Amino acid sequence: MLGRVVVSRDEIASMVSRLAVEIEADIAGRAPVFIGVLKGCVFFMTDLVRQIAKPIEMDFVQVSSYGASTTSSGSVVLVKDITVDVRDRDVYLVEDIVDTGTTLTDVVRLIDARHPRSVKVVSLLSKPSRRQVEVEIAFLGTEIDDLFVVGYGLDHAERYRNVPDIHVLQPS
């Protein structure tokens, strides 16, 4: 069940606005491609790109790692690939949360193999104390403690994604 609020909807909204300003200033030249990592990114991605007043393209990739558990299995399976050609394009990879760093490392490798001009990671949340693989997050919402959180796109066994605030998951 839902526990205490870790990041409120108001805090999320101000983080998204700040990130949109930072990213908009970073966009140079041709329209970049925003690639969201499904499914956790959905609300973050759609809230973020609507605040960027520059031409952009969107695509999504889906990988699976967690299943119904709350700890990483450490192996990532590609479920849905991108369809946009990212060769020589600037890519912003949009993640909900970076935990061990395994998923992001694999997704960055997948995108890099298509020869983009640049790849920068945008993540709403990060749990630095859980990191096993070092990853560079160019644009970060906020760091959180080692907690399993749900809401604003983040699930547990596909539930709670539609919850507006981010809560800690409480064992019931």
Residue 95: CA atoms inside 13 Å, Cβ hemisphere, count? 28
Asked if residues 135 and 106 have their Cβ atoms less than 8 Å apart, the reply is no
The active-site residue out of 47, 99, 155, 165 is 99
Q: Which residue, 1 or 31, has its beta carbon nearer to ligand 5GP?
A: 1
- The first and second tokens of residue 114, run together, are 């298509």
Cα-Cα-Cα-Cα dihedral of 138, 143, 47, 35, to 10°? Answer: 40
Question: Which residue has tokens 């949009």?
Answer: 94
Non-local (6+) Cβ contacts of 171 within 8 A are: none
Q: Toward ligand 5GP, which CB reaches closer, 88 or 145?
A: 145
Q: Which is nearer to ligand 5GP, 99 or 165 (CB)?
A: 99
Smallest separation, CB 62 to ligand 5GP (Å): 10
Residue ranges in contact with ligand 5GP by CB under 6 A:
40, 65-66, 72, 95-104, 148-150, 154-156
Least Å from the CB of residue 123 to ligand 5GP = 9
- The nearest distance, CB 97 to ligand 5GP, in angstroms, is 5
Q: Which is nearer to ligand 5GP, 109 or 117 (CB)?
A: 109
Smallest gap from Cβ 32 to ligand 5GP, in A, equals 21
Tokens representing 140 are 């970060």
* Contact between residue 121 and residue 115 where contact means Cβ atoms under 8 Å apart: no
| Residues forming beta bridges with residue 140, ordered by sequence position | 123
Helix then strand count (H, E) for the chain reads: 3, 9
Catalytic, 26? Answer no
Q: Rounded to an integer, what distance in angstroms lies between the CA atom of residue 95 and that of residue 42? A: 9
Catalytic residue positions?
A: 99
